[in-house]
Structure 1
Amino acid sequence: MVKKSFKFFFNKFIRQHILTLIIILALGFSSLLFSFISPLLIKSLIDDVFVGRKVDLFGYIVIGIIGMYAVSSISNYFKGFITGKLQLTLLKEVSGSIFGVIQFASLESTQELKVGDLITRIMGNTQIAINVPVSIIPQFFMSVVGITVPFFIMMSLNFQLAIIVMSPVILFVLVSSIFGKKMQNIQKIFLENNASVYSFLKESLSIISLIKVFGLESWSQNRFKGQIDDYFTTSISYTRMSSMNSSLSSLILGIPVVLLIIFGGYKVLEGTISIGTFTAFISYTSIFFSPISQLSSLWTSYKSALPAFDRISEIFDMEMGKSGNKEIKIKYGNIKMEDVWFSYDNRRILKGFNAAFGKGLNYIVGDNGAGKSTILKLICSLYNVDKGTIEIDGQDITEIKRESLNRAISMIFADPYLFDGSIYENIRIGNLEASQDDVIRVAKLVKIHNFIERTPEKYNTNVGEDGLLLSSGEKQKIALARAVLKDSPIILLDEVTKSVDADSREAINEVINGLKNKKTVIIITHNASEIDNEGNIVYLGT
């Protein structure tokens, strides 16, 4: 029975490439011609030319062998190239599709999985899944042909000897059925452990500074040892099972050869079959059992790959971020939250919360854990409320298109997100249509232009992964410049000055004060000295 996740994968990604798969199969069958015909040519060479002295056939047989070899070689080349190209094409399509789903999935869905787990699903699991329809299934059909054709040829040469030689087939079927299920179960655990190792590495390498400051090198190393030990244990189990399967298959493969020597040799000695026929049987026995052995391997590979289809399917089952169908129209920038309830991870964050924010400076003040940052995420629809409404100029944000709402709101986090690229690129993502002059203008506005000009490559200076090469103040200024460049009517600021130096704090607050007459600015802060008493202050208790 075909798994539901495999059917989904096939219909979504493989069906459109059916013609290419048919071409791969045709080329594969063509490459088998040499192995099918050459034993018969060798039989004729021995019986008719060497024994029967029909010398005039010698040239034809040689030409036939050369021709079959040429056709097989050319077919193998094109089959290998087309297969490799299809694998790369599917990797691009599948991984791109998975990445896109993750981008548009709800934040709650994506946060249920670790980053390392998502990475392995996008790349590693995708490659495993692609291998099934592109490599394993075509190999399966070619193996079936590789079994069927020699079977009928051997039956036509000598029915009794063919039955004797092919009798060990039942042993291959038995071994495949036993090991296939075991390999599938082990592979599922292996993929989960592999994802855990990736997640651990992503987390540990991103906090390397913290580890060094607190002298946690040995502690971190011990944690990694625990992760890699689990990975090692599962991998050893998989390797042991795979090796045992290969070993038994090789052992079984020797049985038909022994049977052929015993019974076939006897028939040659008694003169019931010719030496050429016996020679052909040797070749066809190898041709017949090689794909049977391969079928056993393909079956275990297929069963091992099935968990990858499940893991990919789980990504496409993610809940998508909710979006309305209306364009937002902002005239005043007034935000109203009425009877808002919200829970996260089975913990109640907001209960019947009410608040109003208007143009100018608005402050949210409260204890840690009271839900201040959650309010900002609800306003920009990163999370959806359990109950209640959030309106912007009287428009319920659940009815607004996500793209339209995103254009209307900018948010700067306490820990600004910078990607591994240039300073220019990190600012310009606020408005991808902005010119270089626009980027420089906002950099000057937030007072980071002079710093940029002192860097080795100025605006082309790389900030490092997560802005590793910059100070907290510099990172926050770049994030602020990005928001200013976006020029949205609503700006949300989540404790943007909590970890910056005095000069950066002064520069950031100056920019914020410059926006108060133009935009709705909502600020979360613990610093009472930064609160403008003329602003709107919302107190939030735990």
Structure 2
Amino acid sequence: MPDRVVRSAAPDPVVPDSSAPPQPIVDALRNLGKDPSGIRLALRSDLSPDGTFGEQWLVLDDADLWVWERSNGSAQLRYNYSLDAIRDAKVERCVGNGLIQVAVDEEPRVLMHFSNELIDQFGRVAFYLHERAEEGPDTPVPDPDADAHRCRVCRQPLLDRSIKVCPRCIQRGRLMRRLLGLARPYRGRMVAIVALLLAGVLVDLLPPYLTRVLIDDVLRGDPPRHMLVTLVGGLLVIQIVRVGITLLTNWQTINLSTRFTSSLRDALFAHLKRLPIDYFDKNQIGRLMTRINQDTGELQGLISQMTTFALNILLVVGIGAVLFSMAPSLGLYVLIPTPLVLAAAFFYYRYMRPHFERFWIARWRLNATLNTFLSGVRVVKAFAQEEQEQDRYHRRNHQMLASRLQVDLAWSRFFPLVSFAFNAGGLIIWYAGGSAVLDDRITLGTLMAFLSYLGMFYGPMSNLTHISQTLNQFLTISQRMFEMLDEEPQTDQANPVRVPQVKGHITFENVTFGYDPYFPVIRDLNLDIKPGEMIGVVGPSGAGKTTLVNLICRFYDTTRGTIRIDGVDIRELSMEEIRRQIGMVLQTPFLFQGTLAENIAYGKPDATREEIIRAAKAANAHDFITRLPEGYDTIVGEGGTGLSGGERQRISIARAILHDPRILILDEATSSVDTETERQIQEALETLVKGRTTIAIAHRLSTLYNADRIVVLNHGRLEEEGPPRELLDNKGAFYNLVQLQTQLARIDGVAAL
């Protein structure tokens, strides 16, 4: 990770860190008459100018850029350019390293090389220099380390990329308040549980007291026999009452923990569906499933354990008070092992915390590996890679085994030591208490009652040594779930513009977008699509074709520029309004587990059977559906298991027809089917596109000859556009793509012969 510094004379600095650059560079800047406090950004490269491992620094202030080489404790200036003279900047990947290059007076200048792991950081600097050249000096300085996964509080690296705060920096008080806030609907049950716990403690304190009376006043005296029956009967009644209280406590606790975690799971899913697509791009499915299903399940068990800990705390306080009231001198002996056990528990907690972190990371990695295998099982089998996947799963499983063994073996060593300390405390009481009985300072009944209370005291004390482990796990899981709940959902207008009837006029105005804002995929795109027009979008892989339609659907928001539908900025429309007017037919259609009728009606759940059949007929899907034994009630597996690729595609088209959108997006809808199936799909698409604004992405350029216009994208820029025939006559980029595809088709034909 590169060292960096950002100081700014301007208000609101972009980057939180403000450590100084290396002192030799500071001194050299002073010698040049520059004030080091004006440095806006300093980024360290790990390669020297000759390509060996070394140290170079790129330093910016408000007016200048410097490149320094640092060696042998001194700083040597290699380049110095005025920021106003830099007209462009970019980062390029080379073999084994990367470089940052700027254009000064129309001449390219390579500033420095660096290892590949620093490409993202230097890419942000290059994008800043590019933007500054276009937008001016008010362009905000980026944080080169923005995506480095560090704790928000202590800035230490995090192994688990799904969390934002390390366990050491979790604000436990704030977390508990938030959990109590979520549990507010269940406060009646919480009050009942507390009341039952108090009642249980009071009942638990009675048997040893009655035992003392039984020994001192009944067994060693000469009372009436009915007194023995009364005391024994009283002890029996107490046990029955205690069982009843325990049953009620368990019933209330189980109801509370189950209902609370169920509502939390609902809240997590409700929030998850509102998150932007880029959140799912950055998080593995297995990790998200662990958060929502497994973590909440563990939280339920932890809530039950916390109830037990609450009972133990009440017992320790109540029994401690009784012990000191019965025999103050013996009470002091009781406390001898307590400080030692608490100190051991504290150090055990500190020792085990990193082991718990490793176990949780190993667990979600194992889940992610399994999810990846299940999602790609056809590819695995097609390439006969079962053994490789088994080896990968075995390695992950072994990592989880090793981390779990570290946790469990450490506890197996710690718990016997705790038990020994408490047993030794019991022996001290036997000796001191026995001496007191022999000296007639206390009665035998008092000693026996004291020993009974002692067992009840040391038992909860021993259990409380678990509390650090359980509380840490409880708070860490809670932190991870709150981090998910705190993720910013995709913003929607509070008072969105209502468009009574969408015509389908789409306009791109100077649109720039990158999945990483500092690496644009679409650059300064201007495009006007008329209502009812069919646009074919072509270009090489990575040109930005799919990104274009993702922006229309507002799966992502533009980095810069505006997209309008019927003259209205799509950010002023509601998400529901946008997606209700857009239908998509993807290259790989996704069918949900359920009947074919349910899949066709997915976009319109209240559709009648007649409407479903009409859509299926328009999509050329009715005939193959009726040939199935169950017809429209045929159940398909997740992803359309049991149907051919062409059949799944026609179901997808029927779904789009029934949805009846004003804007239709076809993303490689016929790229992976045979010729006859393609013909049937094309017939269905001809029905679908009538009267709709259609954007068709295709690698098979022959499918776009009926388009009104062709748009050719290259590296995110609009290279050319126009009617297909006109572009062919111009012999430009589209013509070259057609010629290349024709030559490949001829080669395939010869190979087939």
TM-score (ref. length: structure 2): 0.69
* In 2, Cα distance between equivalents of 1:110 and 1:256: 55
Q: Is 1:185 equivalent to 2:354 in the alignment?
A: yes
Query: 1:438: which partner in 2?
Result: 611
1:50 corresponding residue in structure 2: 219
Q: SS where residue 234 of structure 1 aligns? A: helix
Q: 1:527 aligns with which of 669, 694, 700?
A: 700
How far did residue 425 of structure 1 move?
1.8
* Contact 1:187–1:307 (Cα < 8 Å) also in 2: no
Partners of 2:502 and 2:581 within 8 A in 1: no
Q: Is the 8 A contact 2:508 2:563 kept in 1?
A: yes
Q: Is the deviation greater in 202-211 or in 27-36?
A: 27-36
Given that residues 184 and 304 in structure 1 are in contact (C-alpha distance below 8 angstroms), is that contact kept between their aligned partners in structure 2? Answer: no
Matched, 1:429 2:582: no
Q: Match of 2:588?
A: 415
1:499 maps to which residue? Answer: 672
Structure 2 residue identity aligned to 1:394: G
Match for 1:299 among 468, 479, 486? Answer: 468
The answer to whether the 8 Å contact 2:509/2:527 transfers is: yes
1:255 to 424, 428, 449: 424
In 1, the alpha carbon distance for the partners of 2:312 and 2:598 equals 52
Q: What is the SS of the residue equivalent to 1:128?
A: helix
Distance 1:187 1:385, change over 3 A: same
Letter in 2 for 1:353: L
CA drift at 1:120:
0.6
* Contact 1:146/1:291 (<8 A) preserved: yes
Q: Could you say what secondary structure the match of 2:420 adopts?
A: helix
Residue in 2 aligned with 1:35?
204
Which residue pairs with 2:272 in the alignment? 102
Deviations 1:434-474 (A, max 9, x none): 12222222122212222222334322322212223222112
* Deviation string, structure 1 residues 485-514 (Cα, Å, up to 9, x no partner): 111111111101111233332222112212
One of 101, 104, 120 as aligned partner of 2:290? 120
> Which residue of 2 is the match for residue 163 of structure 1?
332
* 3-state SS in 2 of match to 1:123: helix
Q: Which amino acid aligns with 2:522?
A: L
Q: Deviations 1:316-352 (Å, cap 9, x if unpaired)? A: 2222112222223444211111211011135321111
Pick one of 332, 349, 371 that aligns with 2:503. Answer: 332
SS of corresponding position for 2:535: strand
Give the match for residue 233 of structure 1. 402
Which residue does 1:478 correspond to in 2? 651
Using the TM superposition, give the Cα deviation of residue 269 of structure 1 relative to its aligned residue in structure 2, in angstroms. 2.6
* RMSD (Å), alpha carbons: 1.9
In 2, Cα distance between the equivalents of 1:411 and 1:9? 40
TM-score normalised by the chain length of structure 1: 0.95
Q: In the TM superposition, what whole-angstrom CA distance separates every residue of 1:412-432 from its partner, at most 9, and x where no partner exists?
A: 221112222222222211111
Q: Describe how 1:355-394 pairs up with structure 2 within 5 A.
A: 355-358=527-530, 359-394=532-567
Identity of aligned residues (%): 28
SS of equivalent residue, structure 2 residue 341: helix
> 1:312 offset after TM fit, Å?
1.0
Q: Residue 388 and residue 330 in structure 1: after superposition, are their counterparts in 2 closer, same or farther (change >3 A)?
A: farther
Contact 2:666 2:697 in 1 (8 A): yes
Greater shift in the superposed pair: 103-112 or 173-182: 173-182
Q: Distance in 1 between matches of 2:626 and 2:484?
A: 44
Paired with 1:328 and 1:115, the residues of 2 have a C-alpha distance of 36
Question: How far is the alpha carbon of 1:127 from its aligned partner?
Answer: 2.9
What does the per-residue CA deviation read over 1:135-161, in whole Å, with 9 as the maximum and x for residues that have no partner?
344333321220122222222221111
Q: Is 1:450 aligned with 2:623?
A: yes
User: Does the C-alpha gap of structure 1 residues 349 and 53 become closer, same or farther in structure 2, counting only changes over 3 Å?
Assistant: same
Give the match's secondary structure for 1:493. strand
Deviates further, 185-194 or 376-385: 185-194
**Corresponding residue for 1:515?**
688
Deviation at 1:396, TM superposition (A): 0.7
Q: Give, in whole Å, the separation in 2 of the partners of 1:309 and 1:235.
A: 21
Instruction: Tell me the distance in 2 between the aligned counterparts of 1:5 and 1:438.
Output: 53
| Structure 2 residue runs without a partner (length 5+) | 1-169, 716-753
Q: Distance in 2 between matches of 1:8 and 1:457?
A: 54
**Deviates further, 338-347 or 387-396:** 338-347
Pick which of 246-255 and 181-190 moved more.
Answer: 181-190
Q: After the TM superposition, which of the residue ranges 74-83 and 58-67 deviates more from structure 2?
A: 58-67
* Contact residue 407 and residue 488 of structure 1 kept, 8 A: yes
Residue 202 of structure 1: aligned partner: 371
Taking the aligned partners of 1:199 and 1:93, their CA distance within structure 2 comes to: 25
- 8 A contact 2:253–2:307 mirrored in 1: no
AA aligned opposite 1:68? I
How far off is 1:244 after superposition?
Answer: 2.5
Change beyond 3 A, Cα 1:320–1:2: closer
Which range moves more in the overlay, 322-331 or 140-149? 322-331
Q: Which of 477, 486, 500 is the aligned partner of 1:317?
A: 486
CA 1:12/1:159 → structure 2, altered by over 3 Å: closer, same or farther? closer
Structure 2: how far apart are the matches of 1:2 and 1:353?
45
Superposition pairs for residues 53-92 of structure 1, below 5 Å? 53-55=222-224, 56-92=226-262
Local SS of the residue matching 2:584: strand
The answer on whether the counterparts of 1:343 and 1:386 sit within 8 Å (CA) in structure 2 is yes
Query: How far apart, in 2, do the equivalents of 1:479 and 1:182 lie?
Result: 55
Aligned-partner Cα distance in 2 for 1:86–1:476: 47
> The residue matched to 1:410 in structure 2 has which SS?
strand
Which deviations, in whole Å up to 9, do the C-alpha atoms of 1:246-303 show, x marking residues without a partner?
2222222212211122212222233322221121112101101111111111222112
Q: Which amino acid aligns with 1:290?
A: G
Contact 1:363 1:536 in 2 (8 A): yes
Which residue of 279, 286, 300 corresponds with 2:455? 286
- CA apart distance, 1:130: 4.4
**Could you tell me how far apart the structure 1 residues matched to 2:308 and 2:689 are?**
67
The amino acid that maps onto 1:186 is H
What do the CA deviations read for 1:339-386 (whole angstroms, capped 9, x no partner)? 110111353211111222231422111111101011111001001110
Which is greater in Rg? 2
**d(CA) in 1 for partners of 2:487, 2:171:** 22
Give the letter aligned to residue 119 of structure 1: M
Higher normalized contact order (CA 8 Å, seq sep 6+, divided by chain length): 1
- Unpaired stretches in structure 1, ≥5 consecutive residues: none
Of residues 492-501 and 435-444 in structure 1, the stretch that sits farther from structure 2 once superposed is: 435-444
Distance (whole Å) between structure 2 residues aligned to residue 322 and residue 156 of structure 1: 63
Structure 1, 408-417 or 110-119: larger mean CA deviation: 408-417
1:142 and 1:438, CA in 2 relative to 1: closer, same or farther beyond 3 A?
same
Shift, 1:5, TM fit: 6.1
Give the 3-state SS of the residue equivalent to 1:250 in structure 2.
helix
* Kept after mapping to 2: 8 A contact 1:257/1:285: yes
- 2:463 and 2:483 map into 1 onto residues whose CA distance is 31
Aligned 8 A contact 2:653 2:685 in 1: no
Query: Is contact 2:657–2:688 with CA below 8 Å preserved after alignment?
Result: no
CA distance 1:517–1:445, change in 2 (3 Å): closer
Letter in 2 for 1:453: T
Secondary structure, aligned partner of 2:523: strand
How far apart are the structure 1 equivalents of 2:464 and 2:200? 18
Task: Name the SS of the counterpart of 2:614 in structure 1.
Answer: helix
Give the partner amino acid of 1:30: A
CA distance in 1, matches of 2:177, 2:589: 38
Secondary structure of the corresponding residue to residue 592 of structure 2: coil
Distance in 1 of aligned mates of 2:416 and 2:626: 66
